[in-house]
């Protein structure tokens, strides 16, 4: 099953993706995680992406489309995958459609977590507190200033992706303000339909 998880930073995509992996037995492909791994490994892509990510801006469509095209060919993606953080622009959504058509594959659904913007900054702050409490490393882009830029990027570049999938009929909108378990249940229901 191939799924896309859509929603602003702090919407709960990562939390729900972790639950979906366990239930569906397919991997989560987070372009954010993959780019952070490239940065940590100091690969050419990582060196190019680091500054852009630290500023809260979007890495080029060509780079992330290339990453997803390669990664989805891996054997663990044979039964499907959950895309988290991709596509983030309409151009990426179009490239994904072209890639799927080329590979003779289809998306099962696009799950959008809809969340009040006013709640997002608070969720990011909690995530930072939790990371510090558990001795982890706080992301360079998880601070109020950069978070605001990430939200702006979301509004300008990613919100139109929702309209793109609404037009194609793939979009399933879920209220991301419910409890984590309620959101999980709503996603399950949307996938059954
Ligand atoms: P979040 O969803 O919490 O904003 P991610 O971990 O998905 O964060 O992404 C972190 C950063 O990685 C983004 O701000 C952006 O710079 C880069 N990035 C991730 N996915 C993409 C993408 N599909 N297109 C462009 N840039 C991306």
pLDDT in tens, 65-83: 999 999 999 999 999 999 9
Q: What is the pLDDT of residues 5-21, one digit of tens each?
A: 999 999 999 999 999 99
80: left (phi over 0), alpha (psi -120 to 50) or beta: left
Residue nearest to atom 4 of ligand 1 (CA): 9
80, two tokens:
């499907």
Q: How many angstroms separate the alpha carbon of residue 59 from the centre of ligand 1?
A: 7
Residues of the domain holding 143: 2-26+81-87+105-192
pLDDT average, residue stretch 159-169: 97
In a domain, 154, yes or no: yes
In a domain, 139, yes or no: yes
Confidence band, pLDDT 50/70/90 cuts, at residue 54: very high
32 lines ligand 1 (CB under 6 A): yes
Q: How many angstroms separate the alpha carbon of residue 44 from the centre of ligand 1?
A: 17
Other Cβ atoms less than 10 A from the Cβ of 119: the count is 14
Number of structural domains, the chain?
A: 2
How far is C-alpha 12 from the chain's CA centre? 10
DSSP alpha helices (H): ranges in the chain?
A: 13-24, 31-40, 44-55, 61-71, 90-102, 117-133, 144-153, 159-168, 180-192
* Residue 51 scores a pLDDT above 90: yes
43, two tokens:
């690969």
Residues 54 and 18 in one domain: no
Confidence band, pLDDT 50/70/90 cuts, at residue 171: very high
Q: How far apart are CA 187 and CA 22, in angstroms?
A: 14
Residues 61 and 150 in one domain: no
Residues 49 and 110 in one domain: no
Residues 154 and 64 in one domain: no
Confidence band, pLDDT 50/70/90 cuts, at residue 193: confident
Residues 47 and 114 in one domain: no
Q: What is the pLDDT of residues 97-145, one digit of tens each?
A: 999 999 999 999 999 999 999 899 999 999 999 999 999 999 999 999 9
Residues 13 and 38 in one domain: no
Residues 17 and 36 in one domain: no
Residues 58 and 115 in one domain: no
- Of ligand 1's atoms, which has the minimum distance to the CA of residue 36? 12
Residues 126 and 160 in one domain: yes
In a domain, 98, yes or no: no
What pLDDT was estimated at residue 74? Answer: 97
- The CATH number of whichever domain residue 177 belongs to comes to 3.40.50.300
Q: Are 168 and 71 in contact (CB under 8 A)?
A: no
Probe residue for ligand 1, chosen from 31, 33, 92, 126 as the CB with the greatest number of ligand atoms within 8 Å: 31
Probe residue for ligand 1, chosen from 85, 87, 91 as the CB with the greatest number of ligand atoms within 8 Å: 85
Residues 130 and 153 in one domain: yes
Residues 14 and 32 in one domain: no
- The mean predicted confidence, pLDDT, of the chain is 96
In a domain, 92, yes or no: no
In a domain, 93, yes or no: no
Residues 122 and 152 in one domain: yes
């Amino acid at each position: 099953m191939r799924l896309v998880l859509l929603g602003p930073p702090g919407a709960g995509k990562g939390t729900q993706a972790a639950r979906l992996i366990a239930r569906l037995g397919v991997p989560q492909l987070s372009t954010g995680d993959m780019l952070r791994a490239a940065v940590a490994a100091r690969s050419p892509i990582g060196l190019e992406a680091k500054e852009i990510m630290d500023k809260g801006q979007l890495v080029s469509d060509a780079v992330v489309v290339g990453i997803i095209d390669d990664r989805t060919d891996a054997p663990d993606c044979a039964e499907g995958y959950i895309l988290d953080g991709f596509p983030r622009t309409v151009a990426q959504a179009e490239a994904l459609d072209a890639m799927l058509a080329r590979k003779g594959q289809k998306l099962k659904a696009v799950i959008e977590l809809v969340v009040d913007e006013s709640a997002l900054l608070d969720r990011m702050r909690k995530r930072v507190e939790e990371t510090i409490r558990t001795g982890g490393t706080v992301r360079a882009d998880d601070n109020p200033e950069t978070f605001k830029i990430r939200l702006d990027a979301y509004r300008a570049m990613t919100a139109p992706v929702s309209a793109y999938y609404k037009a194609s009929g793939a979009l399933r909108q879920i209220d991301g303000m419910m409890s984590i378990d309620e959101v999980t249940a709503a996603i399950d229901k949307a996938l059954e339909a």
